[in-house]
Amino acid sequence: MSEEKKFHNDSVVLDIHDRPTIGHWVGLSLQHLFTMFGATVLVPILVGIDPGIALVSSGLGTLVYLITTKGKIPAYLGSSFAFIAAMQMLMKTDGFPAIAQGAMTTALVYLIVAWIIKKIGSAWLDKILPPIVVGPVIMVIGLGLAANAANNAMFNQDNYDFKYLLVALITLGLTIFFNMFLRGFLGLLPILLGIVSGYIVALLFGIVDTQPIIDAPWFALPNFEIPFVQYQPKLYIGAITTMAPIAFVTMTEHIGHLMVLNKLTRRNFFEDPGLHRTLTGDGLAQLVAAFVGGPPVTSYGENIGVLAITRVHSVFVIGGAAVFAVVLGFVGKLSALILSIPGPVISGISFILFGVIAASGMKILVENKIDFDKKKNLLIASVILVVGIGGLVLEVGTFTLSAMALATVLGIILNLILPETSRSEEN
């Protein structure tokens, strides 16, 4: 028996390979489904892809990822925001076939990098990603979307709306209450209960449009876009050159999320199952998503936040959420119901989810006793936090480096080139 199998994290409610009872399983999986739903369907809506396909592709992609990583990493994969601008441009010119080819190329980049890492190993990660880089990067992952959460809680079509803010704050308060004071099984569902109760509050405030739910059919076949079935593939050089470089951006996010999961689960996924296997899983998931007609997928910080809050790390729960997502892609009324959850409700939940991830980054700095009297540490953390949270983006032609990725790259570079002590600190 391997060391990984011998280890069981007794500080959590359910560890990675613990299987919940059927009744608990459904509730816990639905909690993850509700958490990722808004962001996963927002991407196809912005691009012009069927949201039902995005649900199906996220579920299938997550299952492929879990299988590829041998069921060792509790990560949910949803629609990636990093590709939105590129996909919008390609949709206007050549349509989804070009997006699919670009996504498949991105998947190929992942698989090539995974193969290289398998050959050379990942020991180099410890050198380029010490705690002084990892901690602030994780904080950026949590806080990078803080402004979006706040804006969604305040603005109704660009107009400040006090009702929106009130619904968000009530949802936040109820979720905190559920997290602090409920016991037993209900104590494991603070996010799900927060969303449901927030939705009821939103109904009372009259900010939920229920007509799409009434109009939606019970069964709706998603608009699959399968090559050689719905369309005949051809070469789109522009799609390849536009989307392939973005793979390195999402890889950075992938590594950042793994660092958070390492901390939460008390494991080292860079070693077991290995970064090469996690990248392979992500690449294959993107390939599957592109093949059925969905946008590229990536691991979701929102679901990592749920893991942190509930202390339920079971891959069976994540797998259950993936199965529900696939099924939901075919159930029109349920999809419409979840799609009708207003922004303020999601924002109220996000205040907690994003904050918990940021706090995990802070915890790394505290536990490793990072000395901020040292100028090197102070400079690295300062640059990462301001660049990442401030939203500094690097654009060169069609290539875009997101704020989180740019912050990570700058942090790594500063850590490698700055001396341990500055001239003024030398005796």
pLDDT of the residue at 5: 52
Name residue, tokens 């608009």: 223
∠ CA 246-64-254 to the nearest 5 degrees?
Answer: 35
Tokens of 233: 């593939």
Q: Measuring CA to CA, which residue among 247, 293, 254, 295 is closest to residue 275?
A: 254
3-class secondary structure, 399? strand
pLDDT of the residue at 237: 87
Phi, psi of 208, rounded to the nearest 5 degrees:
-110, 130
Instruction: Tell me the pLDDT of the chain (427 aa) as tens digits.
Output: 344 457 899 999 999 999 999 989 999 999 999 888 777 887 887 787 888 899 999 999 999 999 999 999 999 999 887 787 678 888 888 889 999 999 999 999 999 999 999 998 877 777 787 889 888 888 887 787 788 789 889 998 889 999 999 999 999 999 999 989 987 777 778 888 888 899 999 999 999 989 988 998 988 888 899 999 988 888 888 888 878 877 877 887 788 889 889 989 999 999 999 999 999 999 999 999 999 999 999 888 889 988 988 999 999 999 999 999 999 889 888 778 877 888 899 889 888 878 887 887 898 899 889 999 999 999 999 999 999 899 888 887 766 677 777 888 899 899 999 998 888 887 6
pLDDT of the residue at 20: 94
**Euclidean distance between CA atoms 296 and 106, whole angstroms:** 9
Q: Which residues contact 32 (CB under 8 A, 6 or more apart)?
A: 76, 303, 306, 317, 318, 320, 321
Q: Are 69 and 237 in contact (CB under 8 A)?
A: no
pLDDT of the residue at 427: 64
Name residue, tokens 């109220």: 348
Residue 373 CB neighbour total at 10 angstroms: 7
3-class secondary structure, 139? helix
**Euclidean distance between CA atoms 177 and 269, whole angstroms:** 33
Mean pLDDT over the full length of the chain:
87
The 10s digit of each residue's pLDDT in 31-76 is 999 888 777 887 887 787 888 899 999 999 999 999 999 999 999 9
The stretches of 205-314 forming alpha helices (DSSP H) are: 211-215, 237-243, 246-265, 275-292, 301-310
Q: Which residues contact 186 (CB under 8 A, 6 or more apart)?
A: 178, 193
In the Cβ-directed half-sphere of 12, how many Cα atoms lie within 13 Å?
A: 21
pLDDT of the residue at 149: 84
pLDDT of the residue at 399: 65
**Euclidean distance between CA atoms 122 and 196, whole angstroms:** 43
pLDDT of the residue at 4: 46
Q: Which amino acid is residue 247, in one-letter code? A: A
pLDDT of the residue at 1: 39
pLDDT of the residue at 70: 94
**Euclidean distance between CA atoms 262 and 258, whole angstroms:** 6
